Every structure is written in C-alpha cells, then in structure tokens.
Amino acid sequence: MTDEQKITELLKRFSPLDGLKRDNLLALARKVQIRELSPGQLLFKEGDTEKRTFYVVTGTLELTDQDKAVGTVEGGTQLARNPVAPVYPRRVSAKAKDRVQFISIDSDLLDVMLTWDQTGTYEVSELQGTQDESNDDWMTMLLQAKAFHKIPPANIQAIFMRMQQINYKSGDVILKQGAEGDYFYVLTRGKALVTRETPLSKDGIKLAELQVGDTFGEEALISDAKRNATVTMLADGAVMRLGKDDFKTLLNEPMLDWVSRDKAEQIVAGGGQWLDVRLPSEFENQHLDNALNIPLYFIRLKINTLDKSRNYVVCCDTGRRSSAGAYILSERGYNAYVLQGGINADSG
C-alpha cells in the first residue's frame, strides 16, 4: 500500500471526511501530511485565527482555557473522530501531553472539497461520460486554487452544473485571436498551445503550453475585448466551458478585490508592488513610480517571475485590462488587487 493510500484509509476514520467520495478523498490525501508534536508542545493558542482543521491520530492533546484544563482529546477515541476545537478564533489552547501525531488540513480547502463533493461531481461526471483518471484532476486543481475559496458554495454548484464538455482533435483551434470572447475554458484532457500573432510573426509567438487543469479565455470576457491569442490543441482532448454571463457573475465578481487609489498606495507602501499590464509603449509614455510592466498578453508567460509572498496592485488606464490580469494572478495563488478606475482616474 502506498503512502497516499495509507493516508486515504486514515482519513476515513474522521468526520466529515468519511463522507467524501473515493476520488475526492484521494485528492485530499495528496494535500495532507501526518505531523508530530513533542510532549509540552503547543498545537495552537487560544485566540489563534489561522484556518487549519486538526485531527489527532495518536497521543493525547490537553485543552486549556486561560491555563485551566478543560478537556483532552486522545487519538483513536470517538471524540478524536471530530476536528479539534474548530471554532475561530480558538477558544482554547491545545498542548501535547505526550508524543502526538496529528493531521492538519487547510480549512478553506476542506470546505470547498466538501461543497464540491456534495454538489458538483454527479453532474460533471455525467457530462464527461468516461472514467479516465485525469477527469478529476482538473476539478481538483480548480478547487484547490486559493482564489477559488473566495467563491460562495452556491456559485460552485452552479458553475459545475452549467459547464459544457467539448471534445477536440489534435490541431483543432479552440479560440482564435481577434474573435469575440464568449466562453471561459478549463482544459480537462490533452494539451494545448497558446500563440499570439504579431506583425513580425504571422505564425504566432508561443506564449504558453496548457496542461490538464489550466484555464484560459478569461481575459476577453473580463475586459470585453477581442481574443488576444489563439489556442490550438496539441493532442486529442477536451475542455469544459462556461458561458460569458455565467463566468462574470459566478466566477469573476467574487474573485476580484478592487481597491481605491489611497488603499492601493498603502499596499505598495507596505511592501506591495504596482503591476502595470498595459503595452510597453503606453507604459513608457506614463506610469506610476516604481511600477513593474508586464503586458496582459504576457502575464501567463512571465507569472513565475513574480513573488507569491508579495501583494500586487494591478493597474492599467481604466481598470478593464487590470481586472483581467488580477483574475489570472488570483487564480494562480498570487495576492492581487485591482486599482479602481485605473491610473487615469482622479486620485484626489
């Protein structure tokens, strides 16, 4: 039995994990590790607000309220089937009485997985029509994205119920540069190439290669612009797509954090970074002090050069292109804000 399978079996001992479907439990097991505490070591303090869900596997945790013992949680008991003190901020402190093995799970991820398990799998698996193991990978990747945690559970249900599956052959063009934006896409099978035609390259320069779980098509939907790139299948495969109106109301609006000029300047002053997504010629003509310029169509190609521990305030002239850029960053786990009204707005 592999470590992944062992953890999957272990997770079945806990509530509400024991209610998850097999594939979703396996996906969760990939994100979980068994950790240890030495005697006397704290798991968390009273007042802590970090959103982690803890389960005791072996050993005993002592729970205290203002240094007064109020209970224990011993691994293997009925009480240990449930999360330890799951209310935030924590109302008690938890300290190891002996050597304790425990499981720690991101609470937001768990909440999304539980919601997905109870709302989305049935409808989407019906649409897919096959039992290919990769089918669940794209769903898991989408749900594990930090930005997806901002989306209300009701929206998650609606998103997966309204998605449509489309099959493609190698060489098929999914979307064409210059066309109107109509759908948001998730690649669920195969590979695809993103290219952008320029005056110097009619065949197109390569911007990115998409794998299962990657998303595309959002820029044109958010900014109400034409497609800025062409996406072509490199192998036989499939996508799930969501219509423009559904994308805007169910996915885009909950995911974006808009900030005023004053708030944006506070973020930058606190160690954040202006990220200007306009064309280099626009940037050279006028830009904010110390701003970094990555044109919107290069965001996917350059995203790995950015720092996930830093806050980015994405800006353009009006806010339209920057909202598309911020969406892409947020979806991939970066801390992104959108400058309300853009740099041309009156900051007074």
Q: Which residues are catalytic?
A: 316
- The CA dihedral of 110, 113, 118, 122, to the nearest 10 degrees, is -170
- The residue type at 140: T
Q: Are 303 and 329 spatial neighbours (Cβ–Cβ below 8 Å)?
A: yes
Q: Of 37, 155, 154, give the one whose Cα is nearest residue 102.
A: 37
CA distance readout (Å), 145 to 57, 108, 202, 226, 323 = 27, 10, 35, 26, 18
Q: Angle 165-21-76 (CA atoms, 0-180°, nearest 5)?
A: 160
| b/e per residue 35-49 (b: at least 16 CB within 10 A) | eebeeeeebbebebe
Peptide bond into 86 cis (omega under 30): no
Q: Of 266, 258, 257, 336, give the one whose Cα is nearest residue 296.
A: 336
| b/e per residue 112-133 (b: at least 16 CB within 10 A) | bbbbbbbbbbeebbeebeeeee
226/133 Cα distance (integer angstroms): 35
Q: For the chain, how big is the Rg over CA atoms in Å? A: 23
141/146 Cα distance (integer angstroms): 10
> 236 CB contacts (<8 Å, ≥6 apart)?
167, 168, 169, 170, 189, 190
Q: Could you give the 3-state DSSP secondary structure of residue 34?
A: strand
